[in-house]
Chains A and B, each alone.
Chain A
Amino acid sequence: MTALAQRSWAQGGGPVQRAWRWFTSHLVMLFAILVLVYMFIPIAVVVLMSFNTHETKLVYQFDGFTMYNWLHPCEPQGMCEAVRFSVEIGLLATLGATILGTLMAFALVRHRFAGRSAANLVIFLPMASPEIVMGSSLLALFIAAGVGGQLGFSTILIAHIMFCLSFVVVTVKARLTGLDSRLEQAAMDLYANEWQTFWRVTFPLVFPGILAAALLSFSLSFDDFIITNLNAGTSVTFPMFVWGAAQRDIPPQINVIGTAMFVIALVLVVGGEMNSRRRAKAMS
């Protein structure tokens, strides 16, 4: 078939041709949807396994449906303590990283000073280093400093603030550079002083970025395993509990926590998105 004939066939109006045209023009989209489905298969497994009766121990398989795990989420010994520990670390790390990172973002976007490029490099590097290297180097530092025997809450917190910090800076910086500075000039023109301009105009405009950075920090902190495991001593975070359970027998309650995390995060993100959409509509 010549190219011309092929073209005229493809442009014809018959149902087969139309179906073929639809298929080729939507091919990328079909593939994309398949990839998204693939990304959700493990999530579906997590949800399914949270309802597992867990009759066969030591083998990870679905035995039957029960609500028991959801009604008794804290049954596996030490799991809820680990979740609690991770939440505490996560909140404190988020607080620390968000404050330090937001200040850094403001300095980088709004101030001129020597050493900016060095600062940018130091902020970028932790995001480009393998976790195992960051974790082992921190451990090397703690041992050299003689606190190798006191690894625990504070060393985990130090590590988490360290690796969340860069992500906060990048997120807040993106929001701040996208900010229309004419809004601040307008406030100044209307006799607001610097302080008022900052708290009434700049901060509310940057706040969504700070909030996004805080959410990102919390999820990074809550989910971290590699760096934490090296610097935790005898403390057990939730990912460390999962790791320990994976070597022995995996209680279905782990999947209850996994499902709950997924749902909570999804609600927060979708809620935030709807909220910003409503605001955008109200503004226009």
Chain B
Amino acid sequence: MAAIMESGVGPETPPPPPPDQPKSRNRFSGYLLILPGAIWLLVFFVVPLYSLVATSLYDPTGSVIDGYTMTWHFDNYVSALQDFWQPLLRSLVYSGIATALCLAIGYPLAYAIAFKAGRWKNLMLVLVIAPFFTSFLIRTLSWKLILSDNGVIVSTLQWLHILGADGRLLNTPVAVITGLTYNFLPFMVLPLYASLEKIDHRLIEAAGDLYASPIRGFAKVTFPLSLPGVVAGTLLTFIPAAGDYINAKLLGSPNERMVGNVIQNLFTDANDYPAAGALSVILMLLIVVMVMTYIRRAGTEELV
């Protein structure tokens, strides 16, 4: 995403692709440059994933004080699924809906910035990332006020009889999904913009010259060409949303708790590390499987 932000807010016309980067043939200096960072990532990202899997197989009868013993206790996974399938499913459903909403409102925004904004392009891009300048938690807290029981939105919806007289938004799935959609929208808009921006306008004009209506031209030319952005944006929205527990905690009730809330509680309050580890691994595996199938499907659709 950083690369996208960088390229997006940079100069309007990117310089022509420079000739091949000079590659130093000195292997030694290459290793010297990459090793410190690579070791950091290995020790503090890759090795921890191993510790997480190990933790998930510890004997659940141990405790932090007595220490855990490794017993290859695969039952941890079974009981984690049995106890927490609901929050797990809820996470996938909530973040799935939030991702779809982000796509629905993010696509027109990205399209407008890429094709209609003209000299306002950079300003609009800054406006897209500007809400990020304040803290995630504080932004989420302001939704608590916006959706509160005596707030404008709830009273309007009550007036329109969409909500009952004692109906509320706070502490409902609607509030949690609203928060997720809001907080991850820029993750959708920026990759979409980056891929829409790259589209050669002559292709769209050619569709028009060949008597395609604007809608058909969009469906057959613009949208397929923006698919890489759709895939990237969907993943960048879905993955963090599925692991998030801030929105569920601040805007929802215990009935809306997501898998992140459970993992966090198991680690910090219940001190049940094996169960927390198992649940974390399950979440990671689910996401990997979903992402792989999604990329494969999106890839084949692109070819058709």
A171 close to B48 (CB less than 8 A): no
A242 close to B245 (CB less than 8 A): no
Query: How many residues of chain B have a CB within 8 Å of chain A?
Result: 103
B176 at the interface (CB under 8 A from A): no
B186 neighbours in A (Cβ, 8 Å): 39
Instruction: Out of A61, A62, A171, A246, name the residue touching B141 (CB < 8 Å).
Output: A246
B113 neighbours in A (Cβ, 8 Å): 32
Main secondary structure of the interface of B (DSSP, over half): helix
A143 to B24, CA, bound (A): 42
Could you tell me which residues of chain A, from 152 to 177, have a CB within 8 Å of some CB in chain B? 158-159, 161-162, 165-171, 173-177
- Distance in Å from the Cβ of B123 to the closest Cβ of chain A? 9
* Interface locus among B73-81, B204-212, B280-288: B280-288
A159 neighbours in B (Cβ, 8 Å): 44
B133 close to A104 (CB less than 8 A): no
Known interface pairs A61-B150, A225-B136, A246-B137; A165-B37 also in contact (CB < 8 Å): yes
Instruction: Out of B108, B111, B112, B135, name the residue touching A239 (CB < 8 Å).
Output: B135
A178 close to B283 (CB less than 8 A): no
A225 neighbours in B (Cβ, 8 Å): 136-137, 246
- Distance in Å from the Cβ of B70 to the closest Cβ of chain A? 10
B55 close to A174 (CB less than 8 A): no
B109 neighbours in A (Cβ, 8 Å): 31-32, 35-36
A103 at the interface (CB under 8 A from B): yes
B47 neighbours in A (Cβ, 8 Å): 141
Main secondary structure of the interface of A (DSSP, over half): helix
Could you tell me which residues of chain A, from 201 to 250, have a CB within 8 Å of some CB in chain B? 209, 212-213, 216, 219, 222-223, 225-226, 229-230, 238-239, 242-243, 246, 250
Q: Please give the residue numbers on chain A whose beta carbons come within 8 Å of chain B beta carbons, in ascending order.
A: 26, 28-29, 31-32, 35-36, 38-43, 45-46, 49, 60-62, 100-101, 103-104, 106-114, 119, 122-123, 125-134, 136-141, 143-144, 148, 158-159, 161-162, 165-171, 173-182, 184-185, 209, 212-213, 216, 219, 222-223, 225-226, 229-230, 238-239, 242-243, 246, 250, 254-255, 257-259, 261-262, 264-266, 269-270, 273, 276, 280
